[in-house]
Structure 1
Amino acid sequence: MSDFSPQQGGLAVGDRVVVTGASGFLGRHLVGRLRAAGVEVATPSRGEGFDLLNDQLPLDGATHVFHLAAETGVPDSWQDPARFHLVNTHGTVRVLDQCRRAGCAMTYVGAYIYGVPQHLPIDETHPVNANNPYAYSKWMGEQACEWYADMYSMGVTAIRLFNTYGPGQSNRFLIPRIVEQVIDPTVERIELMDLAPRRDYLYVDDAVDALLAARGLPGYRLYNVGSGVSHSISDVLESAMRQAGIRKEVVDLQQVRPNEIPDVRADCSRIGRECGWRPRFSLDEGIERMLEEVRK
């Protein structure tokens, strides 16, 4: 269970917030946490007919907006970069402008935009290398956040999330796909393209903690949010088999992806100093929680 209380970040029981992208993986966890704490949450979503590019957010009585809605997926972004820019950049500008007029603060959930690291760990001053249309669109949304915060004296926090994982995530992502193969009795051996790349994997409850801890601050704030530890794909697989108590043959196809990033590790000291946040879950603990959900 989380240690989040309704008063954290200035929230109180009965407060009203808006979460865009609430039907997504992170959005569902955030909304669940807020509602469990007695916070009223409005969840305009595409599934309910809400159009980020044309409709108005339900901001009456709201004190804060968590803006998670976005077009996602690097491969898809190469096929339609203009659509990604329209939704992720212009859509963010629309949310910012509505927040400005309603007097709401905003939290913007960004993405990893550093490319191949020049140094590890990666802090917020590391040069940006938005090397795909998705990253570029999220970076432009981030720039809009800083501009609105400066020009209109708004409270806007931008969060650069690293590789978030947890229960309920699509198996299009690495860790759920590995866990699924480990526990599936019809899968006799696990084949992976490349076991070497290392990533900073952040458990979803830690990501939600960071969003809540960093809200309600004055001016523009920018924070990296990750575990601060990197793990290889081999590490992830070994953890999943160990936690599940299952051993299977593993085949490393040694197919290195073009423009592969060898290692990623976040420096999260800024959000630690300014908001008191730190990750609580190790990779083993996060994967064990995923397995518990599957067993249920």
Structure 2
Amino acid sequence: MHLKNKKVLITGSEGFIGSHLVEKLVELEAEVTAFVLYNSFNSWGWLDTLDEKYKKHIKVFTGDVRDENSIRKAVEDKEVVFHLAALIAIPYSYYAPSAYVDTNVKGTLNVLQSCRDFNVEKVIHTSTSEVYGTAQYVPIDEKHSLQGQSPYSASKIAADMMAESYYRSFETPVATIRPFNTYGPRQSARAVIPTIIAQILAGAKEIKLGSLTPTRDFNYVKDTVEGFIKVAESDRTIGRVTNIGTGKEISIGELAKKIISLTGRNVEIICEEERIRPEKSEVNRLCACNKKAMDDAGWKSQYSLDTGLIETIHWIEKNLQYFKSNIYNV
């Protein structure tokens, strides 16, 4: 499938990954409709910050994935749907689990049903590496068991199974993309990399983090977005899950030391109790097997961790006003 001139809908378009995906699809000359969560401020999230060369080529549709009527209206004439809208903060899912079910499970159901009803050509459903839980073996391939180690991951497992059921029951052309830990410009301080960078650039002499021993497979946002494009374009991804990750892991502690070194600051790392997940909820190791991404979609990461971190540091330095670095952002 070629995306040029395709009528494309992106849910979660105003968010971190979604806004980068909007830019990429405009560059590919798709007809882009950006689905944005309705709010009385008429805020389009990160889309408000895009260069005019992108904004003039997108249509913005305000609605809520939890509402089936607004989703149906948005999907009605579309050929390709990228479904990214979700609640994603793990700590907040401990306090508001029902909100995660409403948004991540029911929201996904609404998208899938509308895509089925209107015969959408391809649906790209967004999963997360968190559904694997702590790695039972590495690298983690798509056959690895799923473990609901937080209400967030449990809701995403349910959403993934809903997507699979629509493919198996109704032949809805769903492809599930499973990105490992994405980072880069526009990511909120809820995530570890911008948390570290924002605290350092704000002048902190101590940076506060949760557990330092878990390892993660960090994927630069431009690579993740390219994964979305490749999964959408390939017919071989329909009805399948595709990991998007580098195949390399680094501990949070070593990551923090690397970022400190790249910024040239003298900073101490503090492990703060408030930021530590419950013991059985912590995912201790994630490292992707990306063979299927390479074989089925022709995708491979292009950015090294250092290159991606440097670009992220430069962006946060210019946009530090968006970060409340002295407050723990759940």
Q: Who is 1:22 aligned against?
A: 13
Q: Which residue identity does 2:294 align to in structure 1?
A: G
Q: Secondary structure at the match of 2:177?
A: strand
Q: Secondary structure at the match of 1:113?
A: helix
Q: Offset of 1:208 from its aligned partner?
A: 0.4
Is residue 225 of structure 2 the alignment partner of residue 203 of structure 1?
A: no
Q: Who is 2:106 aligned against?
A: 90
Whether the 8 Å CA contact 2:3–2:29 is kept in 1: the answer is no
Worse-superposed segment, 154-163 or 190-199: 190-199
Whether the 8 Å CA contact 1:182–1:240 is kept in 2: the answer is no
Mark the CA change 1:251 to 1:84 in structure 2 (over 3 Å): closer, same or farther: closer
Mark the CA change 1:242 to 1:94 in structure 2 (over 3 Å): closer, same or farther: same
Is residue 83 of structure 2 the alignment partner of residue 73 of structure 1?
A: no
Count of residues in Structure 1 that have an aligned counterpart in Structure 2: 286
CA offsets per residue over residues 150-190 of structure 1, 9 Å max, x none? 222221111122211111111121000111122223x1233
Q: Who is 2:230 aligned against?
A: 213
Mark the CA change 1:240 to 1:60 in structure 2 (over 3 Å): closer, same or farther: same
Q: Secondary structure at the match of 1:121?
A: coil
Worse-superposed segment, 239-248 or 100-109: 239-248
Is residue 185 of structure 2 the alignment partner of residue 194 of structure 1?
A: no
Cα distance between partner residues in 2 of 1:94 and 1:279: 32
Q: 2:265 aligns with which of 246, 262, 265?
A: 246
Cα distance between partner residues in 2 of 1:61 and 1:256: 45
Is residue 256 of structure 2 the alignment partner of residue 264 of structure 1?
A: no
Q: 2:3 aligns with which of 3, 11, 21?
A: 11
Cα distance between partner residues in 1 of 2:170 and 2:298: 27
Q: Who is 1:165 aligned against?
A: 183
Q: Which residue identity does 1:52 align to in structure 2?
A: V
Cα distance between partner residues in 2 of 1:70 and 1:251: 30
Q: Secondary structure at the match of 2:255?
A: helix
Q: Identity over the aligned pairs, expressed in percent?
A: 31
Q: Who is 1:178 aligned against?
A: 196
Cα distance between partner residues in 1 of 2:101 and 2:269: 39
Whether the 8 Å CA contact 1:239–1:287 is kept in 2: the answer is no
Q: Which residue identity does 2:309 align to in structure 1?
A: I
CA offsets per residue over residues 89-124 of structure 1, 9 Å max, x none? 122111111111222110000122111211111111
Q: Offset of 1:252 from its aligned partner?
A: 4.9
Is residue 25 of structure 2 the alignment partner of residue 34 of structure 1?
A: yes
Is residue 278 of structure 2 the alignment partner of residue 286 of structure 1?
A: no
Q: Offset of 1:15 from its aligned partner?
A: 2.2
Cα distance between partner residues in 2 of 1:195 and 1:80: 25
Q: Which residue identity does 1:175 align to in structure 2?
A: I
Q: Normalising by structure 1, what TM-score?
A: 0.89
Mark the CA change 1:128 to 1:193 in structure 2 (over 3 Å): closer, same or farther: closer
Q: Who is 2:327 aligned against?
A: none
Worse-superposed segment, 17-26 or 175-184: 175-184
Q: Offset of 1:295 from its aligned partner?
A: 4.3
Cα distance between partner residues in 2 of 1:253 and 1:70: 27
Q: Who is 2:63 aligned against?
A: 50
Q: 2:134 aligns with which of 105, 108, 116?
A: 116
Whether the 8 Å CA contact 2:179–2:243 is kept in 1: the answer is yes
Cα distance between partner residues in 1 of 2:95 and 2:113: 29
What is the root-mean-square deviation of aligned Cα atoms in Å?
2.0
Q: Who is 1:236 aligned against?
A: 255
Cα distance between partner residues in 2 of 1:140 and 1:251: 35
Q: Offset of 1:193 from its aligned partner?
A: 3.8
Q: Secondary structure at the match of 2:232?
A: coil
Q: Normalising by structure 2, what TM-score?
A: 0.80
Cα distance between partner residues in 1 of 2:272 and 2:164: 43
Q: Secondary structure at the match of 2:123?
A: strand
Q: Which residue identity does 1:194 align to in structure 2?
A: S
Q: Which residue identity does 1:238 align to in structure 2?
A: K
Q: Structure 1 unaligned runs (5+)?
A: 1-8
Q: Secondary structure at the match of 1:44?
A: strand
Q: Which has the higher helix share?
A: 2
Worse-superposed segment, 29-38 or 189-198: 189-198
